[in-house]
């Protein structure tokens, strides 16, 4: 049963009943009338808001149609409008469908044409090779072996040896550095184990990088200017910071995913380079412009098809090594930025990378716990290191000692092994506690200290005795760290902060 407002004659949306007259009103209209007149609009009797009672309808009942929508002509017009709308929508969908069919037909035609061109070129290539072989046989000349196809987008050499000039640079660097290895001692004034034991927090630089997503993922300290350092973050940015002025010198953008590694290339006579690697599969290079004092984009390296998990400047200072989850590692010239070597595909993705201090060996880690050591000059495997009886874990970090005899790397989820490369075997396995997770291992420049950063802070051990010299836990998790060139300070990345530890002033 429906009822109507005694004022408007329309079905009320919020009906109320007058206890004095028994009439039904729309609440909005009767309240306005009472405020203006104070009487019942039908009987003229005195009426107040308290005399009104709300009428509750069944919530499942549909409100009646307005009178102007209940006639047959109006209903037919409504149905006609709905039909027209449905037909227009169907027509638009048909047009879209035909457009997509045309685009698909064109794409298929283009692909077929490209395949025909490729097939013709391959046929011509094979015919040229046969003709060359016939001519060579006639002239009794040896034909060079045919190499594999090369990605024309890269000035690259696949596994097959380094260019002669690059090989010469590596050999000269190796001879120079290896001749000094036995005589290598800590520089005069270098920090001692007793000094390191007394290190405490000296300085904290807060609020680096964006808070969303927060976190510093990579750190590098300049050797030419020890007050400057690089950070890479989850916010896809590389920052250059000067501690002496507490200012950001450069904010370098270009990556589309988190930065995994950063490094300086500092070489006398050449401009300083800032290098970074990222989960977006690319490495970027910025060069210091002496005229403007700023860092300008120099190169973007797009060699790899997987996330970059390693970035190291070679001891020659003219080469850059990259490791990737695409199962390969590569070398790039830091003058032309061209790829000069690409390793064959390994059996597993590469999860870390380190270069021997003499420049002749490169070590890569894998998700299965194995470490492969290659001769960088030929790409041949020099050693395969696998901890015995270890549960599956990822070798996410590697570090050669400065004297070149040892290699530090995780040998489980919560321990670090020091491999003696002369044996080769594990010389020492350092247990860090069941809850500790290793993020980064690094030797200092004297090979006297081994640092381990992870989920429970940073720990520093004395090489050979393996005594734990100091432990820094006040900043929580440490993602990356670096020793100062003279060992007087240790820099660590914790969250959005960089902490500096050293001798108390």
d(CA 339, CA 352): 19
| Residue spans of alpha helices (H) in 221-379 | none
Give the model confidence (pLDDT) of 352-383 as tens digits: 999 999 899 999 999 999 999 999 988 889 89
- In terms of C-beta distances under 8 Å and separation of at least 24 residues, what long-range contacts does 277-281 make, across chains too? 277/308, 277/309, 277/310, 277/311, 277/322, 278/232, 278/236, 278/307, 278/308, 279/307, 279/308, 280/236, 280/255, 280/256, 280/307, 281/305, 281/306, 281/307, 281/308, 281/324
d(CA 356, CA 335): 22
pTM beyond 0.85, yes or no: no
pLDDT at site 160: 52
d(CA 433, CA 274): 36
pLDDT at site 345: 92
Between the CA of residue 501 and those of 73, 449, 462, what are the distances in Å? 87, 15, 17
For the chain, counts of helices (H) and of strands (E): 4, 31
Which tokens is 50 given? 């308290």
Rg (CA), the chain: 37
pLDDT at site 332: 95
pLDDT at site 57: 66
Contact 430, 418 (CB under 8 A): yes
Per-block mean pLDDT, blocks of 10 residues, the chain (505 long): 80 88 90 90 88 78 62 84 89 91 90 89 83 61 43 42 86 82 73 92 89 91 92 94 91 94 92 95 92 89 95 95 96 93 93 93 94 90 85 90 90 93 90 94 92 95 94 92 92 94 84
pLDDT at site 189: 83
Contact 414, 430 (CB under 8 A): no
3-state helix, strand, coil in the chain (%, to 5): 20, 35, 45
pLDDT at site 68: 63
Which tokens is 492 given? 């660590």
């Amino acid at each position: 049963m429906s009822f109507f407002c005694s004022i408007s004659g329309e079905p009320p949306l919020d009906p109320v009943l007058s206890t004095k007259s028994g009439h039904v009103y729309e609440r909005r209209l009767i309240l306005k009338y009472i405020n203006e007149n104070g009487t019942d609009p039908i009987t003229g009797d005195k009426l107040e808001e308290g005399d009104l009672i709300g009428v509750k309808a069944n919530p499942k009942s549909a409100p009646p149609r307005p009178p102007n929508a209940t006639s047959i002509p109006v209903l037919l017009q409504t149905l006609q409008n709905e039909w027209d709308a449905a037909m227009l929508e169907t027509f638009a969908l048909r047009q879209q469908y035909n457009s997509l069919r045309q685009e698909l037909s064109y794409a298929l035609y283009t692909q077929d044409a490209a395949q025909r061109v490729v097939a013709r070129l391959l046929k011509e290539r094979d015919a040229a090779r046969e003709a060359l072989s016939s001519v060579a046989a006639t002239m009794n000349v040896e034909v060079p072996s045919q190499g594999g196809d090369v990605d024309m987008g890269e000035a690259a050499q696949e596994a097959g040896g380094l260019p002669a000039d690059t090989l010469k640079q590596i050999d000269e660097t190796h001879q120079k550095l290896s001749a000094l290895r036995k005589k290598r001692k800590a520089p005069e004034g270098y920090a001692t184990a007793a000094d390191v034991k007394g290190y405490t927090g000296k300085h904290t630089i807060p609020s680096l990088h964006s808070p969303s997503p927060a976190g510093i993922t990579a750190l590098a300290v300049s050797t030419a200017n020890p007050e400057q350092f690089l950070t890479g973050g989850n916010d896809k940015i590389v920052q250059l910071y000067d501690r002496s002025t507490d200012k950001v010198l450069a904010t370098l953008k270009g990556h589309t995913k988190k930065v995994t590694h950063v490094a300086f290339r500092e070489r006398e006579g050449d401009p300083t380079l800032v290098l970074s690697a990222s989960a977006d599969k690319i490495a970027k290079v910025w060069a210091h412009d002496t005229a403007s004092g700023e860092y300008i984009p120099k190169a973007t390296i797009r060699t790899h098809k997987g996330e970059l998990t390693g970035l190291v400047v070679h001891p020659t200072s003219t080469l850059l090594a990259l490791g990737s989850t695409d199962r390969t590692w590569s070398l790039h010239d830091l003058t032309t930025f061209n790829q000069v070597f690409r390793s064959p595909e390994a059996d597993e993705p590469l999860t870390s990378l380190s270069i021997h201090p003499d420049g002749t060996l490169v070590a890569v880690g894998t998700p299965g716990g194995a470490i492969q050591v290659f001769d960088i000059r030929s790409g041949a495997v020099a050693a395969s290191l696998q901890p015995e009886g270890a549960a599956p874990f990822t070798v996410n970090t590697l570090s050669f000692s400065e004297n070149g005899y040892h290699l530090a790397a995780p040998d489980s989820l919560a321990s670090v092994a020091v491999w003696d490369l002369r044996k080769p075997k594990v010389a020492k396995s350092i247990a860090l506690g069941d809850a500790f997770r290793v993020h980064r291992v690094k030797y200092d420049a004297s090979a006297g200290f081994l640092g381990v950063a992870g989920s429970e802070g940073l720990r520093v051990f004395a090489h050979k005795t393996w005594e734990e010299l100091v432990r820094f836990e006040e900043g929580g998790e440490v993602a990356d760290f670096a020793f100062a060139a003279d060992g007087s300070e240790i820099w660590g990345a914790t969250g959005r902060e960089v902490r500096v530890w050293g001798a108390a002033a």
